[in-house]
Every structure is written in structure tokens, then in C-alpha cells.
A and B are shown apart, each in its own frame.
Chain A
Amino acid sequence: MIYVVDVNGHRYTVELRDGAAIVDGESHRASLQTVSGTPVRIVTVGDAVHRMVLRERASRGRYRLWLDGHRYEAEALDSRARAIRDMQASTGRQAGPAPLVAPMPGLIVQLRVKAGDTIAAGDGLVVMEAMKMENELRAVAAGRVRAVHVSAGTIVEKGALLVELE
């Protein structure tokens, strides 16, 4: 099977065949094994041994993982699925800015914006308190505030919708 793998924004073609992984034309013996009773997996490439922990499987073929203590994001799709997803990405509708959701449970201390405000990337939107520290949640992209769904003093759960943007 041939996989197209994006790792931290770089693309690799990996063909798995007869115990070997052929990466961009270069062949390596490779294996992946779990270590019993632990979430650690051992990745071998040739004789090299790497320790890997899967942090999250975001969707099919999409992984956030640690390898030898460093974080990576990787997406491995077979070449057909890759082609379909790339096509969707280039022709798909342009999504608006993602809404701001609570990254953790906590207390809303202050709202820095109201509906209708124009914001720039990096602007503080909401101040939340968790673990006794105030954390400012900032806009990742420029836009306009469509609606604010919380008020100061509210306790919110992780993932709660705080501010809708457009």
C-alpha cells in the first residue's frame, strides 16, 4: 500500500511492502510494535529504534504523536484518499474563522469584545481563570464578532462556545 504522509507540513510518500518502508524511493526495514501494558510503541527503521507515543487520533489517518520526546503532527492517507482530500481542500468552500471555544473548564473573568467589534489576529477576546491563573484567549485570525455567548462570572466547561466570529 502506498501512503502519502504529511509530517509537520512536509510531504513524504511511503510505500509499505514486505516488511520494508520505501520513503521517497529509499527502502528501509521497518516495524511498529506495542509495548505490553504501556501506551509506548516501538518504531524501528533499519536498526534504529524510536519510542513513539500516540497522543491523539484526530481523524482517520491523522495523528498527533511524540517520537523520541518531540511532538509531531502527521496525516497518512493512501494515495487515492489523499488525492480526494487535496481536491476537496482546493475547491471546497472557504470556511470562516473558527469560533472561540473554551480550551479548558474555568471561570470567565472578563470579555474584551462585544458583538459587532472588528478584531485583528492576536487581539484578546476573553479572559478565563483556571488553576488560579488568568489566561487571555486571543483571536487567531482577523474578523468580526458575530455573537458573544457567555458573560463574566460564568463557569464554563471545556469546549463551550464563547465567541462566534465571521
Chain B
Amino acid sequence: MFDKVLIANRGEIALRIVRACRELGVGSVAVYSDADATAPHAREADEAVHIGPSPSRESYLRADRLIDAARRTGAEAIHPGYGFLSERENFAREVVEAGLVFIGPPASAIAAVGSKTAARALAGTANVPVVPGTTEPLRSVHEASEAAQRLGYPVLLKASAGGGGKGMRVVRAAVELAGALEAAKREAMASFGDDAVYVEKYIAGPRHVEIQVLGDAHGTMLSLGERECSIQRRHQKMIEEAPSVAVSPELRRRMGETAVRMAKAAGYVNAGTCEFLLDANGEFYFLEMNTRLQVEHPVTELVTGLDLVQWQIRIAAGEKLPQQSAIAEPRGWAIECRITSEDAGNDFLPSTGVISFLRVPGGPGVRWDGGVGAGSEIGLHYDPLLGKLIAWGDTRDAAIARMRRALLELTIVGVETSRDFHLRVMDDAEFQRGAIDIQWLERRLPSLTAGGGMPEGEVAVAIAAALLAESERAGRLAAPPRGGTATTGGDGAWREAGLRDGLRSL
């Protein structure tokens, strides 16, 4: 096992990796930009190295600085997390050439499936079904138009180097094509530095179901079952769960075998994910392979009992995985909500500010993988993920009820967050039935984000607002000395003291 691992990332995933290192007895080295000097990931690691200014391209995307930091601190391996350099073939190669271990797949495997076009070509040879479309990047509007005509509208434009919905556009008619292509290329260039875009047939109403694979360097490749990530907005996953209501044990086995076949064809080692579209008839189509740890890995961890991040490190250190026969069917149900600094009530516009208060939920079956704390400044340099709230229950209904309870406990003050939105989804009858597909959220968004509040809460709000106005009137709101009270009764001080005692853990 390694003595020390450098974590080439930030935010919740960097903190997640620090935790895995500590549990394995491995030293951790964090890296940080100017903006992250006091960020949780930098203060929780054993060592922390400053790698540059706040913009990612001058810090978290600087392979040279990351490798220097590893050398300087004596780290033997680099964990890239997700995003940033995690899926860059060159980075994986440079790490190895520097005499370090890359905690992830070999550069050759990233090359084999890293671009969607390469992955589709490989899928063809590995007998893995794909959605019909072009395998070469589009060179012109003319070429796009010909391909779209051949496939039939609607079609989907996708960035070759993409992920997370950036550079992706649905085109419903020929007249929209040129504008959509331009926008997709622009977003692809801004996000990935590569404007290659391809086109495929748009399949209506499918679910997004992905298979987690985990392979060691000794020839074992495991399928750890599926995650359903159909709750997406603009192709960004927002809620994920494992298992999926749409996957039977038989389908799980077939999809698992297909994903393992794909991973083996790529010469894959370590954790990876094969994404599929699953249509209403149980037909599935390979979309792409993510050659890294996924944001939503915790739901798989909770239903398999495996620690994927620890296994990533153990595999990179040469350890052997158990055999597939040792992997049981998923136990219970896990759901993850991505808590982002986006205002769901205002078209998910990014919200910036300083987190002045954070209350993390607890209790049975609840996990918080966060990357922020009170005092964290949420700016525009990085993605808006504040943390992931994950709930486990013995059934899907129990997991939903637990998530709902945990969302009510979660309190973040200082920036707008997506919490209220998640609460509404948990309360939604269609979601509760599992009647979802990848268009569900776009379809239901107006009703899930409209207005605010619950009618039964209005009387309490009316009273609260009157009491606020009253205390403002008395001039007490402006500067409450500490734990001030605005009760209209005579027993306020007693009640307040009692409440303060009872709520000390808040």
C-alpha cells in the first residue's frame, strides 16, 4: 500500500478521498488554488500544497504543478477525483512517466473509450449495442444536416470530449440545426478546450441507467450493478438511485455482462462506468464510458457495501478484487440528491455568496458527502456542487421517506440551494412510483419549481411575519445582543432558555 497519495481535485470529492486515505492509513496531500486556501479539503488533508490562482486552468488543470507537488511531498500516487484532469489521457500518461501511480485506468484505456466517438467504434467490435449516429466529429453544418436527415429528427448533438451535459443540444427540426451546432461547439470549446461535436438519433422517453464496473490489474472485472440517473436537467444529473425500478435481476445480469465486455475490450482497470439508455421495452444502448469515479458513486457503495474509493486506491496499489460470485444482489435502496448553489425557483441560476450557516442532517441511513462549511465562499470559479445528500432504506419507499426527512433537516444559509427542489421531487407521486425517464424533469419542472411553500404552513408564516414586523418595529431585529427574543408573552426568557438548552446541538 502507498504511504502517501496526492489528491488532484477540490470540493466534496477531494474530501471524500481524504477520508478514504485516512481509513486506509495512507497519508493525504491536498492541492488548492488561491480561492480554496482555507477550503475544507485543504484543511482536512495531512498536507496541502498551493498550486496557483483561482481559475482552474491556472491551478487544478495544471498537470505540471500537480506532478511537482506530488514529487515535492513524496506522494507515490495521484487520485484525480472526477472532472478536471480525471479523464485526460495525457495526464494519466504524464503521471506514470513521472514515476508515479495514476489512481484510475491506464492512459491506453482512457484513449480507447475517452472520446465518445472512439467508444462507439470500440462498442461495435465488442458486440455492445449503441444508439445509431455518426462516429466521426461533424466538420460542417452541411455534414451535420446530412447526418441528421439520414437519422431523422429529432437528433442529439453531443461534444466528443463532453460530459455533464455541456455541449449537448436536442435538435427537433432542420431549421434549428445550425444555431444548435454553433452553441454546442461553443460550449464544448469553453468547457473542454475541444469543439468536436457528433450527432445521434434522439431516443424519446428512455431512462438513464449506468453500470458501475471495477477491475483489478490481475484480470478480474466486476459489475457492481446499476444506478438510475434519469432525473436530469439539461443533461445534468440531479438525483440518482440504486438499484433501478426498471431493472430486473435478469436485466441487471445482461447489462452487467455487457459493461464488463466493454471494459475488457478497452483494457480497463480500476473504477469505471458504462452509461446506457434503457427504453420502455427493456432494450438498452451504450452511451459512453466514464473513465473515472462518478459523482453518484455513494449510492452503489450503500447497496453493495463496498468502499469504491478505497478499492480504487487498493487496486492501484496492486491488490486483488474478490470474484464476481462474491458480489451479492443490491441490498436495500439508496438515493442521492445533489445539493447545488442554484436557485431552483429562478430557473436554476447560479447563486454566489458566503455560507453563513450549515446544518448537516444526521440520524439513521443518512450520509452527507460535502465540500463546504460555514464560512465557505461560493464563487463562480468552480462547479456549483456544495455536497451530496445520500439516504439508504430497506425499500425505495423507505429511502425516499428518509431523504425527505434529511432534506428537512439540511439547512444552508448564505446562498440559494437546490434543496427545496429536491424536497418537492421526494413529495411527487410520479417520482414515488418510479415513473420517470430522462425527460421527466424537464416536463415537470414548472410544477416542481412554481411558487413556494405549503398552504398548511401559511398561518404559521403569517404569524411569524407579524412577529418579525413587531420586533423590527421595536428595533430589536437590527441588533439582537445574543439569542434575543421577540415573544409577545411574559414567559419569553424562560422559554428561550429552555429552547437554547434543547437545541444546543443545532
Contact = CB atoms under 8 A, between A and B. Distances in A.
A68 B18 CA distance: 34
Interface in B327-357: 345-347, 349-352, 356-357
B408 A31 contact: no
B464 A65 contact: yes
A109 B186 contact: yes
B489 A16 contact: no
Contacts of A40: 357, 359, 411, 506
Contacts of A65: 461, 464-465
A70 B463 contact: no
A2 B117 CA distance: 68
B460 A69 contact: no
B466 A14 contact: yes
Interface residues of B, number: 67
B187 A134 contact: yes
Contact of B466 (A3, A104, A135): A3
B489 A18 contact: yes
A133 interface: yes
Contacts of B183: 134
Interface in B354-371: 356-357, 359
A51 B357 CA distance: 14
Nearest to A53: B413
Interface in B451-485: 451-454, 457-473, 480, 482-485
Contact of B464 (A32, A37, A38): A32
Given A34-B483, A38-B506, A19 B461 contact: no
Interface of B: 166, 183, 186-187, 190-191, 234, 345-347, 349-352, 356-357, 359, 380, 382-384, 407-408, 411, 413, 419-420, 423, 451-454, 457-473, 480, 482-492, 495-496, 499-500, 503, 506
Interface string A27-54: 0111111111111111111001011111
Given A65-B461, A72-B461, A131 B382 contact: yes
Given A23-B462, A30-B467, A69-B408, A16 B420 contact: no
B452 A8 contact: yes
A43 B463 contact: yes
Nearest to A71: B452
A76 B468 contact: yes
Interface of A: 1, 3, 5, 7-8, 10, 12, 14, 16-21, 23, 28-45, 48, 50-55, 57, 60-61, 63, 65-78, 103-106, 109, 129-135, 138, 158
A148 B190 CA distance: 25
Nearest to B492: A31
Nearest to A54: B468
Contacts of B423: 69-70
A105 to B, nearest CB: 6
Interface centre among B352, B458, B483 (most CB of A within 10 A): B458
A30 B463 contact: yes
Nearest to A49: B499
A132 B191 contact: yes
A129 B189 CA distance: 13
27 contacts: A1-B470, A3-B465, A7-B465, A18-B489, A21-B467, A21-B488, A31-B486, A31-B489, A34-B480, A34-B483, A34-B485, A35-B506, A38-B357, A40-B357, A40-B359, A42-B499, A42-B503, A43-B464, A67-B457, A68-B408, A68-B457, A69-B419, A70-B453, A71-B453, A105-B352, A132-B190, A134-B187
